C-alpha cells in the first residue's frame, strides 16, 4: 500500500486511464479481475480502488486522510474484506464466511468490498462458491480478484469480471523506484534490467550474495580482457565454487551479458544506456580496442551458453568453452 493513482499512471497507464474515467463518471463495475506478473502493482491498485470506493472526499485520488482511507491503509476497515490462501489454497469455508459477512448490512454504509489475492489457488469448491456469489451481486458491493495465473480460473468467473492486465514494468520505471528507495544509481540501472519486479530488485540490492556475484562476474570480465591466460583457472577456482545451482549460473551469465552489451552501447554511441557505470573506463577502453562485429559475437556466445545451460550441459565444460570463445572474439 502507499502508492497513488498518479504514481500508478507511470507504471500502468491503461489501468489508470480506465479507473480515472470510471471513478469520475461513478461507473465502477461490481467485479474486477487484476491479472499480471508479480511486482506489476496489482496489490497497490486493489487497495487504491478500495480507498477511492470508500473515500469521504470527492475526486479520483483518495484523500489518504479521512477515517476510511486511514483504516483501509491500516487493514481494519469493517466493510473491506481481504482473502488470501490459507496454507496452499483458498478454501470453500473462506468464501462461505465472506458470503455470510455480505448478508449483513454494511457497518457504516451500504458499500462493501472484498479482495481475493492469489485467486488461482482456490479449490474447486471455493471457485464454485465464488461463482454463485458473483452471479448475484448485492447493490453497492465490489469484488477485486487478483491473480498471476488467470488461465487457472473458471471461465465463468472471468466472464463475470472486468479483466485488467497489468503489464511488466519498464526498466526505467523500476530504476526510478529503486533510486527513491535509496539504491545507488549504478546498481539501480543494473537491477532494473535484471528483473521486472521492484520488490525483487530491492531484495537483490540488499543481498550480500548478489553483491558478491556481481563482483565475481566483473573480475571474470577483467581476467578475459587483461589476463587471458588466467581465465580457465578463474573459472575453476572462483566461478564454479560460487555459482553452484542452475539459477545462480544463469544469473552469472546474465550479469556477464550486460557487460558486453555495455561495450556495444559505447561503440554505437549510447553511453547513457550503460548499466555498469562504475566500469566505464574499462568498457570504453574495450570498445575502442574491439570491433562491433567481435562484440556482437561475444554477446551471441553468452546467449548461446544460456540456452545450452537450460538443456543440462555440464556447467564447468560450458563455462570453459565460453571463455575460450570470448577470448577468441
SS (H, E, C) 203-226: HHHCCHHHHHHHHHHHHHHHHHHH
Confidence (pLDDT) at 66: 95
Q: Cβ(50)–Cβ(59) under 8 Å?
A: no
Residue with cell 479481475: 33
CATH second-level architecture of 5-168? 3-Layer(aba) Sandwich (3.40)
The tens-digit pLDDT sequence of the chain (329 residues) is: 457 888 888 788 889 889 988 988 888 999 999 999 888 889 999 999 999 999 998 788 999 999 999 999 999 999 999 999 999 999 999 999 998 888 776 566 788 999 999 999 999 999 999 998 898 877 888 999 999 999 999 999 999 999 999 988 888 888 988 999 999 988 998 999 988 788 889 999 999 999 999 999 999 999 998 887 789 999 999 999 999 999 999 999 999 999 999 999 999 999 888 999 889 999 999 999 999 999 999 999 999 999 999 887 899 999 999 999 998 76
The domain 207-328 is classified under which CATH number: 3.40.50, 1.20.272, 2.20.25, 1.10.730? 1.20.272
Please state the domain extents for the chain: 5-168, 207-328
Burial string for 270-285 (b: 16+ CB within 10 Å, else e) reads eeeebbbbbbeebbbe
Do the domains spanning 5-168 and 207-328 agree at the CATH topology level? no
Confidence (pLDDT) at 1: 45
HSE-CB for 43 with a 13 A CA cutoff: 13
Rg for the chain, CA atoms, rounded: 25
Confidence (pLDDT) at 329: 60
Q: Which strands, in side-by-side order, build the sheet including 162-166?
A: 80-83, 112-116, 141-147, 31-36, 162-166
Confidence (pLDDT) at 140: 85
CA distance 329 to 321: 12
Residue with cell 469521504: 56
- Beta strand pairing call for 141-147 and 31-36: parallel
Q: Report residue 165 CA to chain centroid gap.
A: 14
Residue 31: CB atoms within 10 Å: 19
Q: Cβ(126)–Cβ(90) under 8 Å?
A: yes
Burial string for 78-117 (b: 16+ CB within 10 Å, else e) reads ebbbbbebeeeebbbebbeebeeebeeebeeeebbbbbbb
Amino acid at each position: 500500500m502507499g502508492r497513488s493513482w498518479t504514481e500508478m499512471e507511470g507504471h500502468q497507464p491503461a489501468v489508470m486511464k480506465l479507473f480515472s474515467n470510471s471513478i469520475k463518471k461513478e461507473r465502477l463495475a461490481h467485479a474486477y479481475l487484476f491479472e499480471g506478473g508479480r511486482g506489476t502493482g496489482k496489490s497497490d491498485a486493489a487497495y487504491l480502488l478500495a480507498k477511492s470506493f470508500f473515500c469521504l472526499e470527492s475526486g479520483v485520488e483518495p484523500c489518504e486522510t479521512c477515517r476510511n482511507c486511514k483504516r483501509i491503509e491500516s487493514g481494519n476497515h469493517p466493510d473491506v474484506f481481504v482473502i488470501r490462501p490459507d496454507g496452499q489454497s483458498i478454501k470453500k469455508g473462506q468464501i462461505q464466511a465472506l458470503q455470510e459477512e455480505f448478508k449483513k448490512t454494511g457497518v457504516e454504509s451500504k458499500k462493501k468490498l472484498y479482495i481475493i489475492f492469489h485467486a488461482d489457488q482456490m479449490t474447486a469448491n471455493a471457485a464454485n462458491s465464488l461463482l454463485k456469489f458473483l452471479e448475484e451481486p448485492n447493490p453497492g458491493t465490489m469484488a477485486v480478484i487478483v491473480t498471476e495465473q488467470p488461465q487457472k480460473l473458471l471461465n465463468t468467473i472471468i466472464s463475470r469480471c472486468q479483466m485488467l492486465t497489468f503489464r511488466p514494468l519498464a526498466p526505467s520505471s523500476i530504476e526510478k523506484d529503486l533510486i527513491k528507495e535509496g539504491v545507488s544509481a549504478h546498481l539501480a540501472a543494473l537491477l532494473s534490467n535484471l528483473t521486472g519486479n521492484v520488490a525483487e530488485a530491492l531484495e537483490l540490492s540488499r543481498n550480500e550474495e548478489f553483491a558478491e556475484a556481481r563482483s565475481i562476474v566483473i573480475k571474470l570480465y577483467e581476467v578475459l580482457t587483461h589476463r587471458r591466460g588466467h581465465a580457465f583457472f578463474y573459472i575453476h577456482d572462483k566461478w564454479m565454487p560460487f555459482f553452484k545451482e542452475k539459477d545462480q549460473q544463469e544469473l552469472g551469465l546474465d550479469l556477464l551479458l550486460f557487460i558486453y552489451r555495455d561495450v556495444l552501447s559505447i561503440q554505437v554511441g549510447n553511453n547513457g544506456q550503460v548499466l555498469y557505470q562504475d566500469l566505464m573506463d574499462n568498457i570504453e577502453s574495450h570498445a575502442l580496442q574491439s570491433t562491433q562485429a567481435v562484440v556482437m559475437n561475444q554477446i551471441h556466445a553468452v546467449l548461446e551458453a544460456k540456452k545450452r545451460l537450460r538443456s543440462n550441459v555440464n556447467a564447468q565444460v560450458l563455462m570453459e568453452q565460453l571463455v575460450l570463445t570470448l577470448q577468441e572474439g
